[in-house]
Structure 1
Amino acid sequence: MRICMMEGPAGLMPEGANWEGIADRIHELAPDLLVTNEMPFGPWLAALPSYDAALAAESVRIHEAGLAALAALNVPAIVSSRPVFAGDRLANEAFALQGGRYAALHHKQYFPQEPGFFEAAWFHSAREGFEVADVGGIRVGVLLCTELMFNERARRYGRDGAELIVVPRASGASSGRWLTAGAMAALVSGCYVVSSNRAGRTAEGQVFGGMAFAFQPGGEPLAQSTDTESIVAFDVDPVRARAQQALYPCYVKE
């Protein structure tokens, strides 16, 4: 299976020259599965400390347009996330697109609340659980950004039969802790771990760190974006994940 991961430019819109350039590169790489960054389109809502209903509605609208743009890529399977209405706030919903068909996969449940990332003010979960789903012929679990920091979730995905953990991110300039978390998630789960991130500086000065990365089921580095290659493709083999899950430390019983 060929997977594509990316650095999504801050403020990306699902139309125009910037998006068309990204779409062209994805077509060239011809992946079986595309992993985008977390809520890839439009402004980053959680930069603001208080929920704003009008801005929330606009982000929902932009991401609905984004669904059509993603579907038009004609990639067999895509995993991304988007804001959806959920009572008095939003939910951050991870989803899969396969053949134009939409399937909700997961709602983010762990939210930071600090400058630049006031997510608890904007989001809550309207769907419990961390469930494995078949996406494009591979068993997938989703951890949305901050959720990667909690190894018990990655380990449980491996125990529940996942072969790939997908991590859409919108994280800041520091990358070291994210690489550590990604490697540990792969090590404890026996899964491939693939993460795309938002990249660049907003007009208000907030910096997103980019650096998409992938780890092999044993925790070894597999691929990473660079200053010259912001969209990267590589091959994975679900059989390797299943074999790794029979080895230390994955086989150790709780």
Structure 2
Amino acid sequence: MTTARIAYLQWPEGLQPEGPAWDAIRRSVETARPDILVTNEMPFGPWLAEHASFDAQAAQRSIALHERALDALSNLGAAAVISSRPVAFNGRLANEAFVLESNAYRMIHHKKYFPQEPGFFEEAWYVRGAGGFDCMQVGQVKVGVLLCTELFFNDRARAYGRDGADLVVTPRATGTSLARWKTAGTMAAIVSGAWFVSSNRHGPGALGQQFGGAGFGVSPQGVLLEETSEETPVRIVTIDLDAARAQKAQYPCYVKEMP
């Protein structure tokens, strides 16, 4: 049996890559020693999209903070880290999914789907940027990434399954209502035949948006795994890669699509 240890989590709103909160995170990850750590979406500093209008100075501060945080992420004690960060693109920002592995940085893709509503004015801040929905080999695990709202486009998870994904991950920044996210994550696992994990922000934003935490996982058969909480902000799941690969031959993964 081929296995990998995957960490999913909830990190606090406004997190800085140094100080007591970060030291506690570092100790917890060093204890867990995961093969892959999946963070929440753009995990450092304030949540920019609470504000309805793009602010170039605030955008630049967030870019600089996430750039500075790359060293801290690399030194967490995980073999690989999957996260996202804001990068400058065409006068605004792109939300860039990436992997850090063996001190090497690889872009995965820029987020493609954005909400535009109170607390989440992402259309005002972000453009679709570059890159497509390609699987990424991370150690021995083939991974597909769906950044937050991308999770609701179920055809993307199905395509990852066809491409042989062992694991689909969703870094997110979402509110306190979890039901739709659990449903979408469960469907992503079922239609891809892959393991699924999602990490989230936690706590109040500057303008009152409440981020709900509750990172969670799902087996390739659609069985929900344990959630994170304030008491247990990091969870580890040992995934069986052989089980994910075998699931590709099971219903509904084998069903042919219309031409």
Q: Same fold (TM over 0.5)?
A: yes
Secondary structure class of the residue paired with 1:198: strand
Deviation at 1:197, TM superposition (A): 0.3
1:150 is the counterpart of 2:122? no
The residue aligned with 2:223 is 220
Secondary structure class of the residue paired with 1:223: coil
1:242 is the counterpart of 2:245? yes
Deviation at 1:226, TM superposition (A): 2.6
On the 8 A contact 1:74/1:99 being kept in 2, the answer is: no
On the 8 A contact 1:130/1:153 being kept in 2, the answer is: yes
On the 8 A contact 2:26/2:77 being kept in 1, the answer is: no
Secondary structure class of the residue paired with 2:226: strand
Secondary structure class of the residue paired with 2:191: helix
Percent identity of paired positions between Structure 1 and Structure 2:
54
Deviation at 1:202, TM superposition (A): 2.2
Secondary structure class of the residue paired with 1:82: strand
The residue aligned with 1:97 is 100
Runs of 4+ in 1 over 2 A off after TM superposition: none
**Unmatched runs of 5 consecutive residues or more in structure 1:** none
Counterpart CA distance in 2 for 1:101 and 1:37 is 20
TM-score where L is the length of structure 1: 0.98
Question: Partner letter of residue 246 of structure 2?
Answer: A
Counterpart CA distance in 1 for 2:204 and 2:49 is 15
Counterpart CA distance in 1 for 2:131 and 2:8 is 26
Deviation at 1:150, TM superposition (A): 1.2
Out of 2, 6, 9, the residue aligned to residue 3 of structure 1 is 6
Deviation at 1:223, TM superposition (A): 2.5
Deviation at 1:121, TM superposition (A): 0.6
On the 8 A contact 1:142/1:167 being kept in 2, the answer is: yes
The residue aligned with 2:21 is 18
Deviation at 1:241, TM superposition (A): 0.6
Out of 55, 73, 76, the residue aligned to residue 73 of structure 1 is 76
Secondary structure class of the residue paired with 2:255: coil
Counterpart CA distance in 1 for 2:189 and 2:112 is 20
Q: Deviations over 1:45-83 (max 9, x none)?
A: 100011110000000000011101101113211100000
Report the count of equivalent residues.
254
Out of 191, 196, 201, the residue aligned to residue 194 of structure 2 is 191
Secondary structure class of the residue paired with 1:81: strand
Matches within 5 A, 1:56-205: 56-205=59-208
Computed over aligned residues only, the root mean square deviation of the Cα atoms, in angstroms, reads 0.9
Deviation at 1:222, TM superposition (A): 2.3
